[in-house]
Amino acid sequence: MDKLILESAWLDGGPRDVLVADGKFANTTGDLSPQDREDAETVDCRGLALVPAFYNGHCHAAMTLLRGYADGMPLDKWLQECIWPFEARLGPGDIEIGTRLAVLEMIKSGTVFFSDMYWQREITMRVVEEMGIRATIGVTIAENLEPPERIEEHFRFLAEHRFETDRVRLAVMPHAIYTVGENVFRRCAEVARAEGYILHTHLSETRREVDDCLRTHGCTPAELLDRWGALGPNLVAAHCVHLTGPEMARMADAGATAILNPCSNLKLGSGIPPIAAMLAAGMKLGLGTDGASSNNNLDMHEEMKIAALLAKATPGGTAETLPAARALELATASTAAAYGLRAGRIADGCLADALLVDLADERLAPAHDFTGNWVYSADSSSIRSVLCAGRFVMRDRRIPGEAEIVAEAERAAARLAGRPPRLP
Amino acid sequence: MDKLILESAWLDGGPRDVLVADGKFANTTGDLSPQDREDAETVDCRGLALVPAFYNGHCHAAMTLLRGYADGMPLDKWLQECIWPFEARLGPGDIEIGTRLAVLEMIKSGTVFFSDMYWQREITMRVVEEMGIRATIGVTIAENLEPPERIEEHFRFLAEHRFETDRVRLAVMPHAIYTVGENVFRRCAEVARAEGYILHTHLSETRREVDDCLRTHGCTPAELLDRWGALGPNLVAAHCVHLTGPEMARMADAGATAILNPCSNLKLGSGIPPIAAMLAAGMKLGLGTDGASSNNNLDMHEEMKIAALLAKATPGGTAETLPAARALELATASTAAAYGLRAGRIADGCLADALLVDLADERLAPAHDFTGNWVYSADSSSIRSVLCAGRFVMRDRRIPGEAEIVAEAERAAARLAGRPPRLP
């Protein structure tokens, strides 16, 4: 058995020894038996708080290569004039390099899982396996970007594989209702339901998407998903900025999850998701960063703080809406649960994914309220070490190969943008 | 002459040697003469970008002691039931300790100046002088909290002193239109104008303030300031969340500055300042963090990113509103200018206040757009060193006495809250 004891880690207001075994928390009571301690590796965690790691519910990891490439543009123009032409030049090697930069950045900021809607899924899987974190990786379907024969290949892949390791799973990811037609979207929903996959899509991201949907289909986007047979407990819908009251009620009723990406929505001028109303409707919610080209980072701590702040300014919101503990839950256990992971809490039986946070950080003082300080005051730089599945993926802020990952990403991005690389 | 050469610092897309002399940038062209180099201390800045330091336009520094003390409450209740009773117990020693923690946190996150509306101004001045940064420190006037004889003492102090050093200045700070009556507010405005002081106040922070003002005075808050003779180029008004179109036009016309504190406004449920409309009205704008009890940190980098994102979602805003370079300007040169400082740019003749930022940081890659990456992607942890007035106040992320400042703040805050301190 693979055993680790986190000695004197701060948890629930005091230091205690925590046992990790076979990638899960095995004893978090602080009362370890001699048997618990037998053959266990120990790590000194004095002065470090043990807190849940982050789960990123919506991302396009390799798009780190496009960070800052075309800022200050609205979504439609940004996609059509800048992002899609740049992406058309991305080779498999570029996607590997961009994904490595993304995973590096996520680990540094405490994220151990991401849901990835992108291309070259095998490459992404390999990078995630190698770097030691988790992902749900999309079989991405976009009829506007790929010919019918490629779409058929994706469905064949889904029929022939049931790829799943401890840390990496597949999901069916039709891009959006405006890039995937009714027939293909229905097939995505059917295969996901039949094979037990998560169905992940963009939903109601911009006002224009809603207006086009109303004009073309005579209903709102979530109503269209419902009509297309896609609205169920395995639906994880990103954005949901412009949902109506009836759509919120229907999604809550169906047990679908909305993944909020407030930074990206603000940056692209898409609006603010109606968080207070979503909470009041009893919707399942999670958080994601979206890609680094519209955020422009993959820092779930920032996303959590901004969601907690914004919620209070949405219609029906007050200073009491989405308090710190609930915001932390959205960024951890709720997002993990949307992807079928029992994780995001430091509790017996949960996946041993966690952060060791430096209690001496000036932003965690004074100690009136640790959770409040963690959500509203600290940033991800107070994270000293990151555990995923009971193993350290960052220790004392060091990640193997870091400098080379950053340098390689700069070289690839410069080549793709047709500019000289910035010398180190 | 006190001379320093920042060797090979990255500026405007390439490395160059930058001369600092007598606390100002003396030669930023990259072309230093032998005379420039004579008797100069040199610092190796390879791989570090030289960027303007932050100026915090509105703060209550010592309130770091209340960080996380009463989260999740609306402004009025929060002030009356939690904050003011806690503050009533603060002694001069506590204010010194809280201010030290604030200055430590500000330096760590790249801020070299703050405007402080609080009590015990002499203590705050001393801490700022000792720790090496700048401040404009309030002679704070609040008729709801102090008896008339104390208010008279403040005016006597203003009449008798013209305290000003290189780095520390005074300003007249009537708290708000709802805590200071017409007579005293008019005297504040008069003495500020006559003596050349900045006049700093809270303005139009909550809907309730506006409604009460309309009911009591028959006009909106900025109109009331105008009527009271307080609206001029020396007015620096914090918050301005609920300004009307005519108020924006009048403030723009008068050359007054609005200091936006979007995190605090969101956290207390006060709303979102109409940033797009303010920009369209040609208003002078700056940024501040407010106190750590309503933000909950003093990180101007976060404030800058959140302002840049939020602006795009305010009425009239689009993805093009408040681009990265303009957001950076608000957090640096514009806020500095509001307080009469020629600073916030790396340019000959400007105050030598600057940050050295690690270009190897993963969030600054790829290098398509440094300013975009700095504003939207990086966080303050990529700041390696901080210069104020040409001297290092942080070097390689170390600040003298750091651990003791944090520990002392925890001891004081625990005593004030009546709980045991968290042991290190």
* pLDDT tops 90 at residue A29: yes
* Domain spans in chain A, listed from the N-terminal domain onward: 3-52+350-394, 54-338
Q: What is residue B424's predicted lDDT score, i.e. its pLDDT?
A: 60
Question: Which A residues, 93 through 112, put their C-beta within 8 Å of a C-beta on chain B?
Answer: 101, 104-105, 108
Question: Which A residues, 337 through 396, put their C-beta within 8 Å of a C-beta on chain B?
Answer: 359-363, 365-369, 372-373, 376-381
pLDDT band of B77, cuts 50, 70, 90: confident
Q: From the CA of A274, how many Å to the nearest CA of chain B?
A: 13
CB contacts, 8 Å: B376 with chain A: 68, 71, 267, 295-297
Q: Does A318 touch chain B (CB under 8 A)?
A: yes
Q: How far are the Cα atoms of A225, A254, A376 from residue A183, in angstroms, in the given order?
A: 12, 22, 45
DSSP 8-state code for residue A423:
P
Q: From the CA of B184, how many Å to the nearest CA of chain A?
A: 32
Contact A372 B101 (CB under 8 A): no
What's the mean pLDDT in A386-411?
Answer: 97
* pLDDT tops 90 at residue B294: no
Per the listing, tokens 């509103």 go with B321
Question: Which B residues, 7 through 26, put their C-beta within 8 Å of a C-beta on chain A?
Answer: none
Find the helix or strand (DSSP H, E) in which B137 lies: strand B134-141
Per the listing, tokens 């998560």 go with A198
The residue of B16, B65, B107, B363 whose CB has the most chain A CBs within 10 angstroms, and thus the best one to mutate to test that interface, is B363
The CA distance from A301 to A378, in Å, is 9
CB contacts, 8 Å: B296 with chain A: 372-373, 376-377
Torsion angle defined by CA atoms of residues B359, B364, B367 and B369, in that order, rounded to the nearest 10 degrees = -120
CB contacts, 8 Å: A260 with chain B: none
SS3 A282: coil
pLDDT band of B48, cuts 50, 70, 90: very high
Sign of CA dihedral B52, B56, B62, B68: negative
Regarding beta strands B168-174 and B235-239, do their DSSP bridges make them parallel or antiparallel, or are they unpaired? Answer: unpaired
Q: What is residue B303's predicted lDDT score, i.e. its pLDDT?
A: 98
Q: From the CA of B376, how many Å to the nearest CA of chain A?
A: 5
Q: What is residue B160's predicted lDDT score, i.e. its pLDDT?
A: 83
The CA distance from A152 to A141, in Å, is 10
CATH number of A3-52+350-394: 2.30.40.10
Residues 6+ apart with CB under 8 A from B79: none
Q: Does A406 touch chain B (CB under 8 A)?
A: yes
Q: What is residue B398's predicted lDDT score, i.e. its pLDDT?
A: 97
Contact A73 B320 (CB under 8 A): yes
* pLDDT tops 80 at residue A84: yes
Q: From the CA of B234, how many Å to the nearest CA of chain A?
A: 31
Q: Is the ipTM of this complex over 0.95?
A: yes
What's the mean pLDDT in B67-80?
Answer: 82
% pLDDT > 70, chain A: 99
Beta strands in A41-186 (DSSP E): 41-44, 48-52, 54-59, 111-116, 134-141, 168-174
Q: What is residue A222's predicted lDDT score, i.e. its pLDDT?
A: 98
Q: What is residue A1's predicted lDDT score, i.e. its pLDDT?
A: 64
CB contacts, 8 Å: B63 with chain A: none
Residue type, A155: F
Asked if A237 contacts A256 with a C-beta cutoff of 8 angstroms, the reply is yes
Q: How far are the Cα atoms of B75, B191, B240, B260 from residue B311, in angstroms, in the given order?
A: 22, 35, 14, 11
Contact B377 A320 (CB under 8 A): no
* pLDDT tops 90 at residue A307: yes
pLDDT digits (tens, 9 = 90+) for B126-148: 999 999 999 999 999 999 989 99
Residues 6+ apart with CB under 8 A from B31: none
* pLDDT tops 70 at residue A424: no
Q: From the CA of A298, how many Å to the nearest CA of chain B?
A: 8
| CA distance between the termini of chain A | 44
The CATH architecture of the domain made up of A54-338 is Alpha-Beta Barrel (3.20)
% pLDDT > 90, chain B: 91
Asked if B238 contacts B57 with a C-beta cutoff of 8 angstroms, the reply is yes
Greater confidence (A74 vs B363) lies with B363
Q: What is residue A77's predicted lDDT score, i.e. its pLDDT?
A: 83
Mean pLDDT computed over every residue of chain B: 96
Asked if B221 contacts B209 with a C-beta cutoff of 8 angstroms, the reply is yes
Q: What is residue B388's predicted lDDT score, i.e. its pLDDT?
A: 98
Per the listing, tokens 């798009």 go with A63
Contact B312 A272 (CB under 8 A): no
Asked if B53 contacts B386 with a C-beta cutoff of 8 angstroms, the reply is yes
CB contacts, 8 Å: A295 with chain B: 376-377
Contacts by residues B371-374 (CB-CB < 8 Å, ≥ 24 positions apart) = B371/B324, B371/B325, B371/B328, B372/A67, B372/A68, B372/A71, B372/A296, B372/B324, B373/A67, B373/A68, B373/A296, B374/B49, B374/B51, B374/B324, B374/B328
CATH H-level superfamily of B3-52+345-394: Urease, subunit C, domain 1 (2.30.40.10)
What's the mean pLDDT in B167-183?
Answer: 97
Phi, psi at residue A3, to the nearest 5°? -120, 140
pLDDT digits (tens, 9 = 90+) for B342-356: 999 999 999 999 999
Q: What is residue B200's predicted lDDT score, i.e. its pLDDT?
A: 98
Mean pLDDT computed over every residue of chain A: 96
Query: Which ranges of A296-351 does DSSP label H, i.e. alpha helix?
Result: 300-311, 324-329, 335-338
Query: Which ranges of A114-181 does DSSP label H, i.e. alpha helix?
Result: 121-131, 148-160
pLDDT digits (tens, 9 = 90+) for B185-233: 999 999 999 999 999 999 999 999 999 999 999 999 999 999 999 999 9
A254, two tokens: 């169906």
Q: From the CA of A335, how many Å to the nearest CA of chain B?
A: 22
The residue of A309, A364, A375 whose CB has the most chain B CBs within 10 angstroms, and thus the best one to mutate to test that interface, is A309
Contact B380 A379 (CB under 8 A): yes
Greater confidence (A74 vs B416) lies with B416
What's the mean pLDDT in A45-52?
Answer: 98
Phi, psi at residue A289, to the nearest 5°? -100, -15
Partners of B25 in beta bridges: B20
The CA distance from A221 to B347, in Å, is 52
Give the nearest chain A residue to B47 (CA atoms): A424
Contact A366 B105 (CB under 8 A): no
Contacts by residues B312-315 (CB-CB < 8 Å, ≥ 24 positions apart) = B312/A266, B312/A267, B312/A268, B312/A269, B312/B276, B313/A265, B313/A266, B313/A269, B313/A271, B313/A272, B313/B272, B314/B272, B314/B273, B314/B274, B314/B275, B314/B276, B314/B277, B315/B274, B315/B276, B315/B277
Q: Does B82 touch chain A (CB under 8 A)?
A: no
Please provide the DSSP assignment of B194-227 as one string. HHT--EEEEES-SHHHHHHHHHHHSS-HHHHHHH
Residues 6+ apart with CB under 8 A from A160: none
Q: Does A306 touch chain B (CB under 8 A)?
A: yes
pLDDT digits (tens, 9 = 90+) for A162-195: 778 889 999 999 999 999 999 999 999 999 999 9
Peptide bond preceding A296: is omega within 30 degrees of 0, i.e. cis? yes
Phi, psi at residue A19, to the nearest 5°? -95, 130
What's the mean pLDDT in B104-110?
Answer: 98
The CA distance from A219 to A209, in Å, is 11
Q: What is residue B71's predicted lDDT score, i.e. its pLDDT?
A: 79
Q: What is residue A406's predicted lDDT score, i.e. its pLDDT?
A: 97
Q: From the CA of A110, how many Å to the nearest CA of chain B?
A: 14
What's the mean pLDDT in A381-391?
Answer: 98
CB contacts, 8 Å: A78 with chain B: 319
Q: How far is CA A405 from the centre of its chain?
A: 21
